[in-house]
Amino acid sequence: MIVAGVIAVVAVLAILFLVLGGGHGDEKAESATRQGASSQTVTVATATTRSLARTVTASGTVSAWEEVPVGAETGGLTATAVLTDEGRYVQQGQILVQLNDTLLRAQLRQQDAAVASAQAGLDQANNALARAQELRDRGFLSQAGLDTAVAQQATAQAQLNASTAGRSETRARVNQAAIRAPVSGLVISRSVTRGQIVQPGSELFRIVRDGRLELDAQVPETEIRLLRSGQSARVSSDDVGQASGSVRIVTPEVDAQTRLGIARISLAGGSGLRPGMFARAEIDVGAQDSVVVPTAAILYRENRAGVFVLADGSTVRFQEVTVRSRTNDLSSVDGLAAGTRIVVEGAGFLGDGDRVTVAPAQ
Count, in order, helices (H) and strands (E) of the chain: 3, 23
Q: Are 94 and 181 in contact (CB under 8 A)?
A: yes
Q: Is pTM beyond 0.95 here?
A: no
pLDDT tens profile 199-235: 998 999 999 999 899 999 999 998 898 899 999 999 9
Whether 343 maps to a domain, the answer reads: no
Cα separations in angstroms, 62 against 246, 281, 338, 341, 359: 14, 11, 39, 44, 54
Question: Are residues 119 and 91 part of one domain?
Answer: no
Whether 92 maps to a domain, the answer reads: yes
Which one of 288, 315, 340 terminates a domain? 288
Whether 333 maps to a domain, the answer reads: no
Amino acid 178: pLDDT: 94
Whether 89 maps to a domain, the answer reads: yes
In CATH, what number is assigned to the domain containing residue 85?
2.40.50.100
pLDDT per residue of the chain (362 residues) written in tens, 0 to 9: 444 443 444 444 444 444 444 444 444 444 444 444 446 888 899 999 988 778 889 999 999 989 999 999 988 899 999 999 998 999 999 999 999 999 999 999 999 999 999 999 999 999 988 988 888 888 888 888 888 889 999 999 999 999 999 999 999 999 999 999 999 999 999 999 999 999 998 999 999 999 899 999 999 998 898 899 999 999 999 888 889 999 999 998 999 999 999 999 999 887 888 888 999 999 998 887 889 999 999 999 888 899 999 887 788 999 999 888 888 888 889 889 888 999 999 888 888 888 888 887 65
Question: Are residues 196 and 95 part of one domain?
Answer: yes
Which one of 154, 176, 198 terminates a domain? 176
Burial of 229 per CB tally in 10 Å (0-12, 13-18, 19+): exposed
Radius of gyration, alpha carbons of the chain = 45
Q: 196 φ, ψ to 5°?
A: -75, 140
Question: Are residues 234 and 271 part of one domain?
Answer: yes
Whether 107 maps to a domain, the answer reads: yes
In CATH, what number is assigned to the domain containing residue 235?
2.40.30.170
Question: Are residues 144 and 123 part of one domain?
Answer: yes
Whether 109 maps to a domain, the answer reads: yes
Question: Are residues 275 and 216 part of one domain?
Answer: yes
Whether 248 maps to a domain, the answer reads: yes
Question: Are residues 205 and 84 part of one domain?
Answer: yes
| Cβ partners under 8 Å of residue 150, min gap 6 | 129, 132
Question: Are residues 276 and 231 part of one domain?
Answer: yes
Structural domain of 129: 101-176
Which region, left, alpha or beta, applies to residue 93 given φ > 0 means left and ψ of -120 to 50 means alpha?
left
Question: Are residues 108 and 131 part of one domain?
Answer: yes
Say how many domains are in the chain.
3
Q: Which residues of 68-100 are buried (b: 16+ CB within 10 A; e: fewer)?
A: eebbbebeebebeebebeeeeebeeeeebbbbb
| Cβ partners under 8 Å of residue 128, min gap 6 | 149, 152, 153
Which one of 176, 198, 224 terminates a domain? 176
Question: Are residues 280 and 218 part of one domain?
Answer: yes
